[in-house]
Structure 1
């Protein structure tokens, strides 16, 4: 009888203790493992689902309409047209640097289409740094999330190249133009 009582007490103790141990299958959000885990609102009001781009390179760029680097839209659009079977360009309009982006998504879209003929996907205006950083850029800028590198968004038109398998390949600052061999050698 003492043995049964002892075993019962041990089992009660184990059950009680297990309630304090954190389970691996928690219901909270799990960190992204690749870019394909992300979806974001498009400037058209739809969704950009990065899993739709599996098998292609993805060039992610933080953009702005009133920046010295804004003419890079032309090169980005040319890449999108020339390598569309292998590459998708996704622009993330952002006003994180010196008030260089319009505050209205309709105005951003109109500016890009009218001045640079942009047809590649654009997101709604987002933050690419700081406390309100969009989850995609949080992933891209932290090695703890992307498994490759930490990166600091230094200005508009920073670029991240993603492999057809969804892994971060490289980060390019604003000075690296879209048509640079540093970028194009991947998909030529």
Structure 2
């Protein structure tokens, strides 16, 4: 029994050590619970600061499409609502309802917080430090490659499904399932 206990402790320490510092965050979820970013350490993660009332809000459509198309192969999309640019709803339930009703969002959404400046969430401070690029508007994106081996900052105006975004994460996805034989 003692050997099993030691083995479990060692396994949990090894798992914790496998989490890159950039993803070693647990953030509150928009509708409760928390999002443990470590669980995505071996996958490409597209992080987006979002807002409900922005000219770029329709990018939710492309984000959801990417999540549905490539999520089964490993892509993770995580939205981070922010009112840093004065275009986000007040209450988490309003944000969640807006995203679901208007864009069918099913990807993980963190609770509303700051994404730039001295009040930025620690995770965003780490993204900014890794890229030397802070969001200058809503729908700024960061692509974190597996193991946090590289972080790419993607401007607001670049659509989430633009070829330069998809081409950057595609090599890190699992191969598509073999076509079913009749």
TM-score exceeds 0.5:
yes
Query: Residue by residue, what CA displacement relative to the aligned partner does 1:57-81 show, whole Å, maximum 9, x if unpaired?
Result: 0000000000000000000000000
Counterpart in the other structure of 2:14: none
Q: Residue in 2 aligned with 1:36?
A: 23
Q: Gaps spanning 5+ residues in structure 2: where?
A: 1-18, 171-182
Contact 1:140-1:168 at 8 Å conserved across structures: no
- The range that moved more, 111-120 or 178-187, is 178-187
Query: Equivalent of 2:142, from 139, 153, 160?
Result: 160
Moved over 4 A (4+): none
Name which of 62, 67, 76 aligns with 1:80.
67
2:85 counterpart of 1:103: no
Q: Shift of the alpha carbon at 1:33? A: 5.3
Residue 158 of structure 2 is aligned to residue 173 of structure 1 = no
- Partner of 1:92: helix, strand, or coil? strand
Determine the structure 1 residue equivalent to 2:45.
58
Name the structure where helix makes up a greater proportion of residues.
Answer: 2
Q: Which has the larger radius of gyration?
A: 1
Within-5 A mapping of 1:80-159: 80-84=67-71, 85-97=73-85, 99-142=86-129, 146=130, 149-159=131-141
1:128-174 Cα offsets, whole Å, 9 max, x none, are: 012211011100001xxx3xx30121100000000111234310110
Report what 1:11 is aligned to.
none
What is the aligned-residue RMSD (CA, Å)? 1.4
- TM-score normalised by the chain length of structure 1: 0.77
Q: Helix, strand or coil for the counterpart of 2:168?
A: coil
TM-score normalised by the chain length of structure 2: 0.79
Aligned to 1:182: 164
